[in-house]
Structure 1
């Protein structure tokens, strides 16, 4: 085994990967960030890859698995995700299987035989199964060449979805002979990344952090006024499209699903309280058909790899920024335009805080969870581009995006320079050592026990903000944080520090605009954002009538084969097909996402639809 691993450290030319990228997957080029990761793995390095959802993380280990040969083991947290990934790989003609609790004895025997014969390229397993001694010995005998750990943030206690079963993976990796490893996740801030490296790797890996930006997603947030009406208005701008509506409770998922059904939509509830067959039926319908809306708790999503979700609506406030980013990331995985809307209210902010305080976790964890929630609320009340605020949370600077509600509609603002100076003066005069509540008490002149203990009632800033309520000052702190004037240390007790930009405002060198509407929730103006529309990746006009016909064929095939629709072809491929109007099988190979195996399986059937439809312009719907 050791010799086998050693031989694999010889670099493999990237040309071999490029050839398979086209012939198997049907792609002419790598997406940004993929090539350097593939090259690092082929060069014998371990990798931690932080890549946004929709950037093609799976290809980063699937392609090296084909180039290297032998067996690649993929750790995945959910059966549904394993099942769909295996279906998709088999549709490309790749030998793949999954070992999970839904398999029967005969299925597991066939997988074992194929493994021992060296026939499998990729084997998907859960972390619980992989940690079993018999499973580890079995894989060691099979000679694993690559270990891929998906959703790697689950290994970290600081990750938004920590799972104890992931903790054994570092030991398993060592028992497999220190096999070459790639860990992948879409959401990991600095503390989470450090924890992943410590838990999984004996030697620090190559770390690739792609931009967290998802420019195809339109971001919008709004205070709650009439939540059912707001949800319905948003869904109405996405007629015939697939989407997800997230709710805080099981009861609300059923109520909102019934509301949407009553309004003429095909909506299905999904939550952990439903019987397993009902949950699976809803999930399969969502995956196989177009225009289905899932109304769900956060129990739905991680195992879903549907690339053509066109909208995500949060009817209730998410748990924190990482959860928000992960959940909106389920829209637009194909890179095409998609919309998001998050509704928030004071009651659920209060509820989220209560859950944090009541949780049976360490005080350190509570402090971090409090600050993560504060960061999400700051995003809700951002005085500038939402994408700038969101990316700044992950340490990434950016320019205004032009594709969020604040960029499009603007905000009702006022000159908040003096208020910002008061807040930052309180931060500086207390030595940049305190969090929001202590500073608010100083500003409003509340002589609490802590204020008196530190003698902060003697500061010039004590009571300087008594003209405002405590709730208004909390909003001001969140807004100047969102504007980049102050920085939050979520590990060190949530203390605030003043940034260089903040010092310029504090010294009177620059001014800052703040939002008036969020100081008094419920009084903000409401703007409407038009829905994004699908278009071809290269800007070609899309024949909508042909696209509808291609989707109808795809739905029929997906039902016959009982696979998700995207396993046949994702929307991106059908849109490109509807723009190109290929007239031969050779031209079909030029369509994005069609490789040789897909051409042989489906090319003729889809070409017939194109030919029946006629040449461009004959039957086109109005552009």
Structure 2
């Protein structure tokens, strides 16, 4: 059987994506590979298909138990013999897995790095034929990466332990420095490198000024009723507050963070995977191991510390290729908080790297250029045209001559002695009668009240742009006091005019989000019927619905209306195993729906 036949018969896909076939053939031939491919790009197939074509068992190194479980469930649903070996297994379950391993009954075994590198386990592996070794989330091996894990560093010894076994390292997020580090640490010096496009054209990227964040979030979620999504927030306390407010509004939501009991976190994750929970509000502890294909949106309530994290987290939306949205609430205070947390680090080199990455994240969020071009540019990829599917392309920001307003701000910062944060400067500008302003005598300043005609939100947005562009400096180490810079003198003295973007407080969409997949004008009522049937089957079998069929498969069914096995096997995601187990039930549901419409 050829890899193409395995793709169709086992996994139910008609054709490979670029460059899956080249990677698979390289690995089958016994050569090492380094693969950089975006989330949802089909990385897993790059080692799963070779595992079925090479003699022995494929060892897959994965950092998270949840990720292993999802992958194993999906493989088993396709008739592939796979298991995981990690700390979540009971003693008897662990013995059963080892027994399957020694009897050569497994095609793939997923293992955590610390378990894999234990002397006892390595000794076992030397007695077993190994088809290949796959290191997933390989950026964890690099200190330049955004999610460095010390236990990953030791994986380089696998090349010494198994010199003749082909290795593949895979990641969705790595800048040039991180890529070089991965190759060096895993000793993949002769590996073929496959760098895919970072572009996820189905994701719409939107950034809005963060003003009343909970209201902004609720307005966004009102447009996404009955859809699955993730909301990321900075702190555990904020996660719980947001989740509680969403529940009060009737949204089926739950909190997830590392401070919750293991059992509660597991229950939240399982409920989300099974579509019993609509929205998970989480810290970054959630999501890396989530293989849920039908996440329709990701919201960053707080600013991520780097573009790699932002890219990976937004990439959890729309893994099935259907339209998805990524909303970032960009707050002035978030920059100070993130910088403060980074500067508390004890390693000067790591602090320098992380501050550099934070500055890049802030630059991305500025309303200057197409979001997708800025995002891809960070990873060294050039897009020669605007994407047409981000907030700046669909609704370009209004530009205005902000010179006079900027002069008011800069002058006020000077008048208050460059000793206060943005809030106090805005209070003085707007003529606040607050006690602190009066006690300090700042109601006597020449700049008092000169900005009363504009809202606090407008002044806050202007100050943030002046900080980003270098006309103001925010002293994080000194209570986020804002100060003038050398550059500010050119504006204050009238030597330079400033054209800035007006703040954007809502995620305004000029065009409706396209809900169609592959330009198919499918029957949305039938799609909902098939979704319900999928949920019933998944609940009966104790697996997430996307393990049965992806949303994309249901979209094709709702368009092509397959009523025979031959027609059903032409649907993407329907392989022989799934046809035998689920095909008839879905054909019956389609038939019943069509009869009811007649």
TM-score, L = length of structure 2: 0.83
Residue 56 of structure 2 corresponds to residue 54 of structure 1: no
Aligned to 2:516: 535
Equivalent pair of 1:240/1:290 in contact (CA under 8 Å): no
Which residue pairs with 1:119 in the alignment? 105
- SS of the residue corresponding to residue 597 of structure 2 reads coil
- Could you tell me which residue of structure 2 aligns to residue 135 of structure 1? 121
Equivalent positions of 1:194-213 (< 5 A) are 194-201=180-187, 203-213=189-199
CA distance in structure 1 between the aligned counterparts of 2:359 and 2:220, rounded to whole angstroms: 26
2:350 alignment counterpart: 365
Change (3 A) 1:354 1:590: same
The change in CA–CA distance for 1:329 and 1:601 in structure 2 (over 3 A counts) is same
Name the SS of the counterpart of 2:11 in structure 1.
coil
Correspondence for 2:533 = 553
In structure 2, the partner of 1:618 is 597
Q: Is the alpha carbon distance of 1:91 and 1:526 closer, same or farther for their aligned partners in structure 2, counting shifts above 3 Å?
A: closer
Pair 526,86 (structure 1): closer, same or farther in 2 beyond 3 Å = closer
Cα separation, 1, equivalents of 2:306 and 2:275: 31
User: What is the correspondence of 1:180-259 to structure 2 with a 5 Å cutoff?
Assistant: 180-201=166-187, 203-259=189-245
- Other-structure match for 1:176: 162
Paired residue for 1:146, among 132, 143, 146? 132
**Alignment partners' CA distance in 1, 2:108 and 2:507:** 48
- Conserved 8 A contact 1:241-1:290: no
Q: Which residue of 2 aligns with 1:381?
A: 366
User: How far apart, in 1, do the equivalents of 2:505 and 2:333 lie?
Assistant: 20
Per mean C-alpha deviation after superposition, the further-off stretch among 372-381 and 541-550 is 541-550
Q: Is the 1:573–1:592 Cα contact (8 Å) retained in structure 2?
A: yes
Contact 1:413-1:514 within 8 A present in 2 as well: no
Q: How far apart, CA to CA, are the structure 2 residues paired with 1:126 and 1:382?
A: 41
Instruction: Spell out, residue by residue over 1:389-447, the C-alpha distance to the aligned partner (whole angstroms, 9 max, x if none).
Output: 11111111112000000001101235899xxxxxxxxxxxxxxxxxxxxxxxxxxxxxx
Change (3 A) 1:135 1:531: farther
Equivalents in 2 of 1:551, 1:290: separation in Å? 13
- Contact kept, 8 Å, 1:240 with 1:291, in 2: the verdict is no
1:22 equivalent in alignment to 2:3: no
Counterparts of 2:151 and 2:18, CA distance in 1: 32
Q: CA RMSD in A?
A: 2.2
The within-5 A match list for 1:99-110 is 99-110=85-96
Q: State the distance in 1 between where 2:592 and 2:55 align.
A: 42
Aligned residues: 514
Shift of 1:586: 1.8
Q: Please show how residues 321-470 of structure 1 align to structure 2 within 5 Å.
A: 321-361=307-347, 363-398=348-383, 399-413=385-399
Structure 2 residue ranges without an equivalent (≥5): 404-461, 472-496
For 2:506 and 2:10, the matched residues in 1 are separated by 48
What is the Cα deviation at residue 172 of structure 1?
A: 2.6
Residues 485-521 of structure 1 show CA distances to partners (whole Å, capped at 9, x for unaligned) of xxxxxxxxxxxxxxxxxxxxxxxxxxxx986137xxx
2:569 paired with 1:589: yes
Following TM superposition, where does structure 1 have runs of at least 4 consecutive aligned residues deviating by more than 3 angstroms?
414-417, 469-474, 523-527
1:83 shift after superposition: 0.8
**Is the 2:323–2:515 Cα contact (8 Å) retained in structure 1?**
yes
CA 1:514 to 1:578, structure 2 compared with 1: closer, same or farther past 3 Å? farther
Q: 8 Å contact 2:20–2:42 — kept in the other structure?
A: yes
TM-score normalized by the length of structure 1: 0.79
TM-aligned CA deviation for residue 173 of structure 1: 3.2
**1:319 and 1:352 in contact (8 A); partners too:** yes
Of 469, 489, 501 in structure 2, the residue corresponding to residue 517 of structure 1 is 501
Determine the structure 2 residue equivalent to 1:572. 552
Provide the residue aligned with 1:446 in structure 2.
none
Using the TM superposition, give the Cα deviation of residue 531 of structure 1 relative to its aligned residue in structure 2, in angstroms: 5.6
Distance 1:311 1:470 in 2: 30
Contact between 1:70 and 1:118, CA under 8 Å: does it hold in 2?
Answer: yes
Could you tell me whether the CA contact under 8 Å between 1:222 and 1:344 is conserved in 2?
A: yes
- Residue 219 of structure 1 aligns to a residue whose secondary structure is strand
Q: CA deviation at 1:533?
A: 4.1
Structure 1 unmatched ranges of 5 or more: 1-14, 418-468, 479-512
